[in-house]
Structure 1
Amino acid sequence: MARIAFILLCHKDPEAIIDQARRLTRAGDYISIHFDARGGKETFETIRAGLADNPNVTFATKRIKCGWGEWSLVQATLYAIEAAEQAFPRATHFYMLSGDCMSIKTAEYMHDFLDREDADFIESFDFFESDWIKTGIKEERLTYRHWFNERTQKWLFYQSFWMQRRLGLERQIPDDLQIMIGSQWWCLRRRTIEWLLEFTRNRPDVMRFFRTTWIPDETFFQTLVRHLVPETEIRTRTLTFLMFTDYGMPVVFYNDHYDLLLSQDYLFARKISPEAKELKKRLGDLFADTGVSFQISNEGRSLFQFLTGRGRDGRRFAQRFWETESSLGRNRELLMIVCKKWHVAKRLVSQIKEHSDIPCLEYLFNEENTYLPDLGGIEKSLEKRTRHRRAWVRMLFDYFDTDRMVVCLDPQGLDLIRDFYSDRSGTKLLEIECDFTDDYLSGHAKRTGLASDQTPEDALQRLLPTIRADMVHESDRIRDAEFEHYSRISQSKTPEENAAPLARFLGISEDEACEIASMHYLFSD
């Protein structure tokens, strides 16, 4: 059975470290601790004394001062690994953690998980081919030597960097290494750890190289594991659930994230807020429990993007080139139907087609596979259609040889509506107001990846009010924009009541409009 030696790098809060070590060793696992030398000798001695009676705890062979982005983080990890490898011969796996990490599964679940698959879990993407690095220097992390810390010695860091560049002092990457990059939170098998330690002793040239790279904790283990282990035995993922905001800062988890964390396909989560006392207690109690089953829905990232994206209304400060150089045409009229329930808008469109000769197109800016004519390739992707929106719609007018056309849009596309309203063409807008039952919202959450069939019902029920409020917000934004020639039909009104706004929108008689609106299953889910 799997036995885990946790490799813990930490620098503060001795009581929390003691609690974490006791918790993680409760089920027979081990822990090796490197406490940053900047944390002080007295604090470290408090940790040693608090864990002195625990035989499943050891400490790094040497304590050093650590700095973000420096080799010291890798060296501290190696010191902790060496101690664990020597002290715990029964350890089958070595799992990298920080003081901000907590388990989100039981120890029983973790052991079963690791027993099922004989593999190393580590993010390992090609350094040069992947887009893992989003900002800042990239190749220069490797090709120049970095002796100073960019955060604490910024002037020296960049002076050294620019001097090397001016003098052409680029260095070669070791010939036999393919440099890889990924998260520093990994889980490796004992055999891999033994190979890695042997490699560090036999290859001083590689060690010299990585000692002066920038942020080596994202490349050192990732590169060596790929170099030493067959590709078929590597899973390019981390078992620690972590997310980052748009500003590159780690997302912090609080007391109300308990259900969300348990449903993710990970063993640990980072970062847990120091203030989340209840969450820490519940997760700590869970770790030692047995016979617990988990419903894995794994919607954490999509849910976070949805929740943080609410209310971020885009702003544009200048026209796109296709807006200044292209118009739909002064004598043309674009009729836009806006509805969150796409099937309702599509049913209305089918009725309009049956009762008129107006060309109608369904969600051409939202649905990749909606039916469209062949217009030379621009129709093949949503990105192209949206980027060249006016030129694209003008081509559709030309294709159908018409001056009037109906298109369907999702309410979130307020910027599209504004763009078309600013054109010289005539523009009308019809909003279809629908009722949103809990069953419909649940289905919507699952279709869009905010939830899955495995999402616990209580967690889903807490999400529904947010989704409903988001849909109401989209509709309110459209109404607040006060577009000219705006009409609205509603599920709560009779076909006769909906006939007048529909007639104004299509420019037909109310009798014809009433016939269209009388479709008996128009609003059915």
Structure 2
Amino acid sequence: MARIAFILLCHKDPEAIVQQAERLTAAGDYISIHFDARGGKEAFNAIKAALSQNSNVTFATKRIKCGWGAWSLVQATLYAVEAAEKAFSDATHFYMVSGDCMSVKTAEFMHDFLDRDDADYIESYDFFESDWIKTGIKEERLVYRHLFNERTHKWLFYKSMAIQDKLGLKREVPPDLRMMIGSQWWCLRRRTIEWILEFTRKRRDIMAFFRTTWIPDETFFQTLVRHLVADTEIRNRTLTFLMFTDYGMPVVFYNDHYDMLVSQDYLFARKISPDARTLKKRLGELFVAQNVTFKISNEGRSLFQFLTGRGRIGRRFGQRFWESESTLGRDRELLIVTCKKWHVAKRLVAEFRKKTDLPCLEYLFNEEDTPLPDLGGIEKSLWKRSRHRRAWVRMLFDYYDTDRMLICIDPGGFDLINDFYADRSGTRMLDVECDYTPDYLAGHAKRVGLAGEATPKEALERLLPTIRSDINHEADQIRDQDYENFYLMRENNSDDENAACIARFLDISMEDARDILATQHLFAD
């Protein structure tokens, strides 16, 4: 059976470290702790004293001061790994964690998971070919020698790079290594750890190279594992669930995240808030529990993107700069149908085609595969259509040789609607309001990735009011604009009321409008 030696790097809060060590060793696993030398001798002694009776705990062979982005983080990890490899001869796996990490599965589940697949779990992408690095320097991390820390000596850090560049002091990457990059939260087998330690003793040249690279904790183990282990035995992923905001900051989890965390396809999660005492207690109790079944829905990231995209009061984003130099044409008229239930709008538009000669295009800004004419490639991606929205729609007017055209837009496309109404052309809008049952909202959540088939019923029920509120907000946002030539058609209105809206919107007779409303199952889900 798998037995895990956890490698813990930490620098503060001795009481929390002791609690974490006790939790992680409660099921027979081990832990090796490196407590940052900056944390002070008194705090370190308190940790050692509190854990002195726990034979499943050991400490790094040496304590050093660590700095973000510096080699010291890798060196501290190696000191802790060396201690664990020596102290725990029956440890089968070595799992890197921080003081902000907590298990989100039982120890029983973890052991079974690792036993099922004889592999190393480490995220590792090609350093030069991948886009893993989103911002900041890239190649410069490796080809220059970094003797100063960017966080503490910013001027010296960049001045040193500039001097090396001016003097032509770029260095070559070791030719026998394919440089890789990825998350530092890995889980490696004992054999792999032994190979890495042996490699560090033999290849002093490689060690010297990494000592002066920038942020080596994202490249050192990732590169060596790919160098020493067959690709078939590596799973390119981390077993620790973590997310980042659009500001590049780690997402912090609190007490109400328990259900979401345990349903993710991961063994650990970070960062857990120091104040989330209830969450820590529940996860600690879960770790030592037996015979627990987990329903993996794995919707955490898409759910986070949805909720943060909504923002706070007033919503998240202000208005964007529109492409004001582009216009559809003063004598043209754009008819917009907006409806959250796309299938309802499509049925309605299908009937419009029968009663008018209008070119009608369904959700061209929302669906990649909407049938469209060939316009030189601009029609091939949603990004291009939205980025050049007026130019794109003007091309459609020209293609159909018409001054009047109808399109469908999701109510969430408020910026699109505003942009078209701001154009000098004429604009009309028919807003189709539908009823939303709990079953429909649940299905909608699954279709857009906010929930999965395995999402617990209780978690889904908590999410539905948020989705309903979001739909209502989109509708209110549109109606608050008091647009000209705006017509509201409701599922609960009488046929005469809805027919009058359609007749005015399309400029057709009431008789034709009633024929359109006679469509069977127009509002059915």
TM score, norm. by length of structure 1: 0.97
Equivalent residue, structure 2, for 1:16: 16
Comparing 159-168 with 15-24, greater Cα deviation is found at: 159-168
**Other structure's SS at 1:129 match:** coil
Q: Distance in 2 between matches of 1:349 and 1:386?
A: 22
Equivalent residue, structure 1, for 2:320: 316
Q: Distance in 2 between matches of 1:503 and 1:397?
A: 23
| Alpha-carbon distance, 1:488 to partner | 0.7
| Alpha-carbon distance, 1:381 to partner | 1.8
**Other structure's SS at 1:473 match:** helix
Comparing 239-248 with 496-505, greater Cα deviation is found at: 496-505
Q: How high is the sequence identity, in percent, across the aligned residues?
A: 74
Q: Distance in 2 between matches of 1:507 and 1:461?
A: 43
**TM alignment of 1:428-447, pairs within 5 A:** 428-447=428-447
Comparing 497-506 with 437-446, greater Cα deviation is found at: 497-506
The one-letter amino acid paired with 2:183 is S
What do you get for the CA RMSD once the two structures are aligned?
1.1
1:312-364 deviation per Cα after TM superposition (whole angstroms, max 9, x unaligned): 234223x43xx51x432222211000000001100110111122222211111
| Alpha-carbon distance, 1:510 to partner | 2.1
Equivalent residue, structure 2, for 1:183: 183
Equivalent residue, structure 2, for 1:133: 133
1:441-460 deviation per Cα after TM superposition (whole angstroms, max 9, x unaligned): 00000000000000000000
Equivalent residue, structure 2, for 1:89: 89
Equivalent residue, structure 2, for 1:352: 352
**TM alignment of 1:22-37, pairs within 5 A:** 22-37=22-37
The one-letter amino acid paired with 1:80 is A
Given the alignment of the two structures, is residue 207 of structure 1 paired with residue 218 of structure 2, yes or no? no
Equivalent residue, structure 1, for 2:500: 500
**Other structure's SS at 2:164 match:** helix
The one-letter amino acid paired with 1:524 is A
Instruction: Could you tell me which runs of 5 or more consecutive residues in structure 1 were left unpaired when the two chains were aligned.
Output: none
**Other structure's SS at 2:427 match:** strand
**Other structure's SS at 2:417 match:** helix
Poorly superposed stretches of 4+, deviation over 4 Å: none
Q: Distance in 2 between matches of 1:201 and 1:116?
A: 32
Q: Distance in 1 between matches of 2:57 and 2:334?
A: 71
Equivalent residue, structure 1, for 2:236: 236
Q: Is the 8 A contact 1:102 1:272 kept in 2?
A: yes
Q: Is the 8 A contact 1:314 1:415 kept in 2?
A: no
The one-letter amino acid paired with 1:438 is P
Equivalent residue, structure 1, for 2:413: 413
Q: Distance in 2 between matches of 1:120 and 1:213?
A: 24
Equivalent residue, structure 2, for 1:291: 291
Q: Distance in 2 between matches of 1:108 and 1:334?
A: 61
| Alpha-carbon distance, 1:392 to partner | 2.1
Given the alignment of the two structures, is residue 458 of structure 1 paired with residue 462 of structure 2, yes or no? no
**Other structure's SS at 2:347 match:** helix
| Alpha-carbon distance, 1:404 to partner | 1.4
1:93-151 deviation per Cα after TM superposition (whole angstroms, max 9, x unaligned): 00000011000000000001001111111010111111111111111111111111111
Equivalent residue, structure 2, for 1:42: 42
The one-letter amino acid paired with 2:125 is F
**Other structure's SS at 1:407 match:** strand
Q: Distance in 2 between matches of 1:287 and 1:64?
A: 31
| Alpha-carbon distance, 1:485 to partner | 0.9
Given the alignment of the two structures, is residue 488 of structure 1 paired with residue 472 of structure 2, yes or no? no
Comparing 67-76 with 151-160, greater Cα deviation is found at: 151-160
1:225-262 deviation per Cα after TM superposition (whole angstroms, max 9, x unaligned): 11111111111110000001111111000000000000
Q: Distance in 2 between matches of 1:73 and 1:376?
A: 52
The one-letter amino acid paired with 1:337 is V
The one-letter amino acid paired with 2:362 is E
Given the alignment of the two structures, is residue 150 of structure 1 paired with residue 150 of structure 2, yes or no? yes
Q: Distance in 1 between matches of 2:156 and 2:395?
A: 57
**Other structure's SS at 1:61 match:** coil
Comparing 508-517 with 482-491, greater Cα deviation is found at: 508-517
1:134-181 deviation per Cα after TM superposition (whole angstroms, max 9, x unaligned): 111111111111111111122222222222122221111111111111
Equivalent residue, structure 2, for 1:268: 268
The one-letter amino acid paired with 1:260 is M
Q: Distance in 2 between matches of 1:304 and 1:19?
A: 29
Comparing 395-404 with 268-277, greater Cα deviation is found at: 395-404
Q: Is the 8 A contact 1:31 1:58 kept in 2?
A: yes
Q: Is the 8 A contact 1:336 1:406 kept in 2?
A: yes
The one-letter amino acid paired with 2:370 is T
Q: Distance in 1 between matches of 2:384 and 2:91?
A: 53
**TM alignment of 1:245-394, pairs within 5 A:** 245-310=245-310, 311-317=315-321, 319-320=322-323, 323-324=324-325, 326-394=326-394
**TM alignment of 1:85-124, pairs within 5 A:** 85-124=85-124
Q: Distance in 2 between matches of 1:398 and 1:159?
A: 56
Q: Distance in 2 between matches of 1:37 and 1:390?
A: 60
The one-letter amino acid paired with 2:320 is R
Q: Distance in 2 between matches of 1:274 and 1:369?
A: 47
